[in-house]
Amino acid sequence: MFNNFLISVAAMAVVLGIMILVHEFGHFAVAKLLGVRVEQFAIGFGKRLGGFRRGETDYRINVLPLGGYVKMAGEAPTDTRTGDPGEFTSHPRWHRFLIAIAGPTMNILLAVALVTGVYMVHYAHPAYFDEPAVVGYVVRDSVAAKAGIREGDRIVRIGEQQDPTWEEVDLKILLSPKQPLSVAVQRGSEVLDKTLIPSSEGTEGGGDAGLVANRPIQVGQVEATMPAAKAGMHPGDVVVAINGQPLNSIESLLGYLEQNKDKPAVVTVARDGEQIPLAITPVKTSVEGQTRYRLGFTSTAPVRVSRLPFPKALARSYETNKLFSKAIFELVEKLVQGKGSMKQISGPIGIGVAAGQAARQGLLSLLQLTALISLNLGIFNLLPIPILDGGLILLLFVEGLMRRDISLVVKERIYQAAFVFLLLLGVVVIYNDLVRALPGLAGKMP
């Protein structure tokens, strides 16, 4: 347990350290290139722990490691301005715009670069992600079942997305808890319009409609003392039917067992090009606190693994980051409209837990997580909130329309209000992290 904690802390430090360094380097490099005097390049906030000075810049590490900054001469509203050409405000607005946008741009480029590198070494993804969104199973009494969606239906539109893959369908539903979502399904020669209102599930409040992809049931491990092993099921078998009823997902098998209970069944498996019937009687057992009827094997989703050449890896990385960028913007839009859930946002504790899990899975998993968080950081910093880079860009745009600078007093009040807002946001996010990490805490905190 303690070792896992140390791994999580170390992994979070590496992930956040890389992202902050890259982000601040973007600001620093462009500022230097344009002739702005950089007084501090800092990782962390608060009191200086250590560092070194080179030329006009103090390169430092501060006591609070949750962020960083580049301090430029004349940048803050409270700074004394002398008109020195090295001061931030002495430069034209387009210079200041380039400096502001450089940080988020570096984070987004880092995400694309990391994912490209991973895909060149190991491009692995669930096989069904690439397939048309054909429904393999509809959970009984679920949102999808009540909307009239059936097994075998193909989702040809979800929201505004035409001909989506399952990856796009899953993301769309996840980001739409308790919100109407228009869906078109093809059933034979008909195209039927449906409306889903995904329920909010789990501690993160993500949407769930009860739709399961059409994907093979590939046998992973077989428990030696359970009915499946005794009937002759082998790892690598593909379960295709039970009592003559075709099976399109592990959820469809579990649903059938729940109805069939402990009645004997004939399970058909595909092995080496043959279909083999196995007589199996399910047994009722407890798994992770849930009691249900089981055959005694684990299912593994088929995964496609390859190495992509650089051009294809870059193109696929771009598409992956584009997909997640759209999801992030959609989540932000729903939060602003009051339609989203703050539970879907993670903070430092959530990042630490995720980083620890990724680190234990290996370097490639950690790099992919770093890319995702870097993309999130880049987009978050583009939001039009003063203090953030997007807020500075917004103020520059307003000043450009006014053809004069906003007064220092007004800017100072804007930054103070933004600081309070971000502080409150941080409190909410950390609370969500604690509730996810310690589920029993939710009922004990006010």
Residues 189 and 277: their CA atoms lie apart, in Å, by 34
Q: Give the pLDDT confidence score for residue 427 in this predicted structure.
A: 80
Instruction: Give the chain's residues under pLDDT 50.
Output: 440-446
Q: Give the pLDDT confidence score for residue 288 in this predicted structure.
A: 67
CATH 2.30.42.10 fits 217-289, yes or no: yes
> Do 61 and 20 form a contact (C-beta atoms < 8 A)?
no
Binning the chain into helix, strand and coil, the percentages to the nearest 5 are 45, 25, 25
- The tokens describing 352, both together, are 């630490």
24 in catalytic set: yes
Give per-residue pLDDT as tens, 382-427: 988 888 899 889 999 998 888 888 887 888 888 888 888 888 887 8
> Do 215 and 132 form a contact (C-beta atoms < 8 A)?
no
Tell me the C-alpha to C-alpha distance, in Å, between residue 237 and each of 170, 220, 256, 272, 278: 27, 8, 19, 9, 12
Could you give the angle at which helices 93-121 and 363-381 cross, rounded to 10 degrees? 160
> HSE on the CB side for 6, CA within 13 Å?
3
> Which of 59, 62, 23 lies closest to 39, judged by CA?
59
Residue 287's H or E segment, with its range, is strand 283-287
Query: Read out DSSP for 6-61?
Result: HHHHHHHHHHHHHHHHHHHHHHHHHHHHTTPPEEEEEEEEEEEEEEEEETTEEEEE
- The tokens describing 11, both together, are 């992994």
Q: Write down the domain spans for the chain.
A: 2-120+353-441, 129-213, 217-289
> Do 279 and 231 form a contact (C-beta atoms < 8 A)?
yes
Residues 270 and 302: their CA atoms lie apart, in Å, by 14
Q: Give the pLDDT confidence score for residue 443 in this predicted structure.
A: 41
Q: Give the pLDDT confidence score for residue 446 in this predicted structure.
A: 39
Q: Give the pLDDT confidence score for residue 441 in this predicted structure.
A: 43
Q: Give the pLDDT confidence score for residue 311 in this predicted structure.
A: 92
Fold of 129-213: Pdz3 Domain (2.30.42)
Give per-residue pLDDT as tens, 106-155: 999 999 999 999 999 998 888 788 778 889 888 888 899 999 999 889 99
> Which of 321, 317, 339 lies closest to 330, judged by CA?
339
pTM of the model: 0.74
Q: Give the pLDDT confidence score for residue 102 in this predicted structure.
A: 96
- 132 has which bridge partners? 165
Q: Do domains 129-213 and 217-289 have the same CATH topology?
A: yes
Q: Give the pLDDT confidence score for residue 202 in this predicted structure.
A: 62
Catalytic entry in 24, 75, 87, 204? 24
